[in-house]
Amino acid sequence: MEEIVFGIGITALAGALATVAGAAENTESDIGSQGDPNSQVQLAPQMGYIHRIFNKAVAGEPPAYGLWVALGAGLAWAFMAMQINPILAIVLGSALAVFVQGIYATTAYLGRTASLAKFGQPVYIDILKSMTTVTMAHAFVAIFTTVAMCHLMISALGHPFPLPLLGLVWGIALGAAGSATGNPFYGKERQYQSQKFGAGVPISASGNIVRYAEAGQRNSLDNGFFSAKLGGPASGICFGLIVFFELWRTVVFEELNIWGPIIVGVIVILIFAIIDRYIEVWARKAFGPYTAPEEASS
């Protein structure tokens, strides 16, 4: 019994770390326009809309976070193998992984923007200076919390995988959660605030992203500010719940039967599918003129 209580405590802690990781991950990727909103940022200059938005296309978020977290975990593992204290090892590993992330971000922006020279999109070097550091800070929070969570799973819950492999798996899961949950807040709302709610993006509006802010010109820090309020916490809850339920079902039900966690997992997925369907139908009825396809409004 005591073991289960201890396990649930670790599960809650891991879930809390994962929630922070999800929120930081989504804010980071939105400031860099990574993931699916990237296509519109990339397209805008080709349609004549020159912008001052950070375009950091490293890869999709899941592979990119697979690398950052696996790298942080691998370096932390190596430092621990050199007899360095685990907390210091995880901090050092995450810091070095963030260095790699920052370099990839700068080369992605320079490369994409330089290749758009034909359309008159200049390289705004101040974007690199001011925004890379902000994405690196958020990435550090995301990587550190995820690696710490993986270390907890191994040292406290006795997970058999080595730290780097666990980091790879949970890094991909983190990127997937942020990409699926948080990006709509940025890509489908923030970039298209001038469109009617729920109208989608008609082809005639492709690339016509919002480029001017309430005062002056919009940059990616404004987008980070926006998505930190809604998209970030939503991604955090998503990833936190994934981690919590994943560990909870194993810790609690493994004692009963080896198949217990698997059956509970299927039941949890079914319950969430029903909740999601209900929320979607409710939101459509309550908010949207989502009935007929809208004409392009710009």
Partner 1 sequence: MSVKIEVGAGGIPHNQILIYGLVGSLVLIYLTYLNTITGTQYFSFFGGLAAVVALLWGTDTIKHLCSYGLGTGVPSAGMIALGSGVVAAVFGATTGIFTPIVTIIIAAIIGAVAGVLANNVVRMDIPVMIVSLIELAIVGAMTVLGLAAMACGTFEFLGMITGTAVILGFAVPSYEFSVIGGSIIAVIFMLGAIAIQHSFNACLGPGEKQDRTLMLAAECGFLSMIPVAIISFAFIGLLPALVALLVSIIGWIYTYVQYIALSKRDAYAWLDAKPILEPKGGA
Residues at the contact surface with partner 1, assessed by CB under 8 A: 36, 38-39, 42-43, 47-52, 57-60, 63-64, 66-67, 70-71, 73-75, 77-79, 81-83, 96-97, 100, 103-104, 107-108, 110-126, 161-165, 168, 211, 217
DSSP 8-state secondary structure symbol assigned to residue 186 = I
- Minimum distance of partner 1 from residue 263's CB (angstroms): 29
Residue 288 phi, psi dihedral angles, 5° rounding: -105, 145
- Minimum distance of partner 1 from residue 285's CB (angstroms): 31
* Residue 79 or 253 having the CB closest to partner 1: 79
The three-class DSSP label of residue 212 is strand
- Minimum distance of partner 1 from residue 228's CB (angstroms): 23
- Minimum distance of partner 1 from residue 128's CB (angstroms): 10
Residue 117: CA count within 13 A, CB half-sphere: 4
For 243-281, b/e burial (b = at least 16 CB within 10 A) is bbbbbbbbbbbeeeeeeebeebeeeeeeeeeeeeeeeee
Any residues with CB less than 8 A from the CB of 297 and at least 6 apart, and which? Answer: 194, 195, 196, 199, 205
* Residue 124 or 248 having the CB closest to partner 1: 124
Q: What span, in angstroms and rounded, lies between the C-alpha atoms of 67 and 81?
A: 20
- Minimum distance of partner 1 from residue 176's CB (angstroms): 14
* Residue 59 or 152 having the CB closest to partner 1: 59
Q: What span, in angstroms and rounded, lies between the C-alpha atoms of 71 and 93?
A: 7
- Minimum distance of partner 1 from residue 273's CB (angstroms): 27
Q: What span, in angstroms and rounded, lies between the C-alpha atoms of 297 and 216?
A: 23
* Residue 61 or 246 having the CB closest to partner 1: 61
* Residue 74 or 240 having the CB closest to partner 1: 74
* Residue 63 or 260 having the CB closest to partner 1: 63
